[in-house]
């Protein structure tokens, strides 16, 4: 009987792509069950790797698509699963998720699963947040430290842009941790499986672009007070000197999501009243 190394070495994991293949069948099954997939659900898998999660979704009752960047992996998956698998060979960050969700039947939402590359976790999450209203649930494997940041609360050192944007778009829940021994090759970090539930999340944000720019600018210089970190933000000529009343002597890490929403909405209302609907962020400092 071949060892795990012998069994999976043929896939030749590429370090520059962040490939650490999940090889523990028990963990894989726990992840699959956590997504709660039913008949007629539409599912996308990010980075199927050698197919340990993929094989559980190849039912005629499930509309399943896998997105994989590595061409050599795609060829092996096509050979393994034949015509049962719909496989898109591209970088998920370039995959047109908006177009994909727009062709879903009315009222139908997407479910997402994946052991995602740890080096682009943040970029993947923000791509999902851009279509949050079209997603039902995402179950993702990621670095344990990053998973904890998604749930961080104001006042903690982990609280930042990622925590705020995650929590205004979804309800994050860490399901369980996974040891390095469950992967090949073994990563140098602990991993966690997290479930993001996108339904019934509504903070009443008037303009998501303004909210996003406000949060980015606030945490751009997190050791400084908001007076300093938001200086460039409020110099945007479209605001015409408007600045909502708030204690700008505080640091961003102490500001709750509700407070960020309140500031953002006051700015949005001001722009609407002054007929400045085309909010431009060219003068707002980007922090990532």
d(CA 146, CA 22): 18
Query: What is the distance between the alpha carbons of residues 127 and 125, in angstroms, rounded to a whole number?
Result: 5
Confidence of residue 6 (pLDDT cuts 50, 70, 90): low
Assign residue 269 the CATH number of its domain: 1.10.8.100
pLDDT band, residue 19 (cuts 50/70/90): low
Instruction: Express each pLDDT in 223-236 by its tens digit.
Output: 899 999 999 999 98
Instruction: Round to whole Å and give the CA distance between 269 and 27.
Output: 48
pLDDT band at 4 (very low <50, low <70, confident <90, very high): low
For the question of residue 262 being annotated catalytic, the response is no
Check residue 3 and give its pLDDT.
Answer: 52
Instruction: Give the separation between CA 128 and CA 97, rounded to whole angstroms.
Output: 8
Choosing from 145, 171, 197, the residue where a domain stops is 197
Same domain, 230 and 158: no
Those residues with Cβ within 8 angstroms of residue 121's Cβ, 6 or more apart along the chain or in another chain: 142, 143, 146
Q: Flag whether pLDDT at 285 surpasses 80.
A: no
Q: Is the pLDDT of residue 240 over 60?
A: yes
| 89 is a catalytic site residue | no
pLDDT value of residue 282: 42
- Look up tokens 């990563």; give the residue: 187
In a domain, 284, yes or no: no
Q: Which of 118, 203, 242, 246 is catalytic?
A: 118
In a domain, 286, yes or no: no
Structural domains of the chain, count: 2
**pLDDT at residue 283 greater than cutoff 50:** no
Whether residues 134 and 241 fall in one domain: no
Selecting among 47, 49, 114, 220, the annotated active-site residue is 47
What share of residues in the chain are helix, strand, coil (percent, to 5)?
45, 20, 40
| C-beta of residue 205 within 8 angstroms of C-beta of residue 168 | yes
Tell me what pLDDT residue 106 has.
85
Catalytic residue status for 47: yes
CB 233 within 8 A of CB 172: no
Q: What's the pLDDT score for residue 9?
A: 54
Average model confidence (pLDDT) across the chain:
90
Beta bridge partners of 113: 45, 139
Phi-psi region of 88 (alpha: psi -120 to 50; beta: other; left: phi over 0): beta
Q: Kindly report which listed range (44-53, 75-84, 135-144) carries the lowest average pLDDT score.
A: 75-84
Does one domain contain both 261 and 131? no
Backbone angles phi, psi at 142, to 5 degrees: -150, 175
Q: Judge whether 73 and 11 are in contact, CB under 8 Å.
A: yes
Both tokens of 210, joined, read 């303004």
* pLDDT at position 64: 96
Instruction: Determine whether 115 is an active site residue.
Output: yes
Please enumerate in sequence order all residues whose Cβ is within 8 A of that of 115, keeping only pairs 6 or more positions apart, or say none. Answer: 20, 21, 22, 31, 47, 49, 53, 140, 141
Catalytically annotated residue among 20, 49, 64, 68 = 68
Please check whether residue 13 is in contact with residue 21, taking contact to mean a CB–CB distance below 8 angstroms.
yes
Ramachandran angles phi, psi of 210, nearest 5°: -65, -45
pLDDT of residue 246: 98
pLDDT band at 200 (very low <50, low <70, confident <90, very high): confident
pLDDT at residue number 10 = 55
Stretch 243-271: mean pLDDT: 97
- We report the CATH number of the domain holding residue 136 as 3.40.50.150
- Domain range for residue 269? 208-273
pLDDT, position 94: 98
Estimate to the nearest angstrom the gap between the alpha carbon of 126 and the chain centroid.
Answer: 5
100 has catalytic annotation:
no
- Answer yes or no: is 281 within a domain: no
pLDDT at residue number 260: 98
Whole-model pTM?
A: 0.89
Instruction: Read off the pLDDT of each residue in 265-271 and give the average, rounded to a whole number.
Output: 93
- Tens of pLDDT, residue by residue over 74-122, are 999 999 998 889 999 999 999 999 999 999 988 889 999 999 989 999 9
Asked if the structure places residue 101 within a domain, the reply is yes
- pLDDT given at position 187: 87
């Amino acid at each position: 009987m071949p060892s795990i190394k012998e069994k999976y070495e043929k896939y030749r994991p590429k370090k520059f792509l962040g490939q650490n293949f999940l090889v523990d069948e028990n963990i894989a099954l726990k992840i699959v069950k956590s997504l709660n997939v039913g008949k007629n659900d539409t599912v996308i898998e990010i980075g199927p790797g050698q197919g340990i999660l993929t094989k559980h979704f190849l039912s005629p009752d499930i509309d399943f698509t896998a997105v994989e960047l590595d061409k050599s992996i795609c060829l092996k998956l096509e050979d393994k699963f034949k015509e049962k698998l719909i496989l898109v060979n591209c970088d998920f960050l370039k995959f047109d998720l908006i177009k994909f969700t727009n062709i879903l039947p009315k009222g139908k939402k997407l479910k997402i699963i994946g052991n995602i590359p740890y080096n682009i976790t943040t970029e993947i999450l923000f791509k999902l947040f851009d279509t949050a209203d079209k997603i039902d649930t995402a179950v993702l494997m990621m670095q344990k430290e990053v998973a904890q940041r998604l749930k961080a609360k104001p006042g903690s050192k982990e609280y930042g842009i990622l925590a705020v944007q995650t929590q205004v778009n979804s309800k994050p829940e860490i399901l369980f941790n996974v040891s390095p021994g469950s992967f090949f090759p073994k990563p140098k970090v602990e991993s966690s499986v997290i479930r993001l539930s996108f339904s019934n999340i509504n903070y009443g944000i008037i303009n998501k672009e303004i909210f996003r720019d406000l949060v980015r600018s606030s945490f751009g210089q997190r050791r400084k007070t908001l007076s300093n970190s938001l200086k460039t933000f409020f110099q945007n000529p479209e605001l015409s000197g408007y600045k909502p009343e708030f204690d700008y002597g505080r640091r961003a890490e102490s500001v709750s999501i509700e407070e960020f929403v309140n500031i953002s909405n006051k700015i949005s209302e001001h722009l609407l009243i002054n007929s400045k609907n085309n909010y431009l962020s060219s003068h707002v400092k980007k922090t990532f």
